[in-house]
Amino acid sequence: MIKYIETHLLLDGQIENNIFILDLSCLDEKEIVFSLCQKIINFYMKNFKGKILKYFFVKASKEVKEVIKNDAFFKELIISYKLRITRKARDTALTEIIDSNQLLKEYGGNCETPSKYWY
């Protein structure tokens, strides 16, 4: 999967050209969510340092949002504007930096939800 991401999603010579959206609506257990979010960010920082423009964690429960906001690991990302956590799916920050033709309707864009993700 890493090879697929490198080949098809990350452009050579481009710095900070990817936006990562994680929908947390199906995860309620804050410890699981917290661990998952840490692992995802660690993975991207280790393998694709300098390639992520911003991380969006959307539909986070109030408890999850508070846990992440108050953790030292995530605080640096929040302060540097690399991470945005919201309880809503539609966030103005998403539509400001992502073209509406590349963003799912669920998040405020014009795209339909794909039925097939990996080709």
Boundaries of every domain in the chain: 2-107
Residue length of the chain: 119
> Closest Cα to residue 5, out of 50, 37, 51?
51
User: Given strand 52-58, what is the order of strands in its sheet?
Assistant: 18-23, 52-58, 83-85
Q: pLDDT in tens for each of the 119 residues of the chain?
A: 567 666 666 666 666 677 888 888 877 677 778 888 888 888 888 877 777 788 898 998 888 888 888 888 888 888 778 888 888 888 888 888 888 888 889 888 898 887 876 65
Q: Record the pTM.
A: 0.76
Number of H helices, E strands in the chain: 5, 3
Using DSSP, state whether 65 is helix, strand or coil.
helix
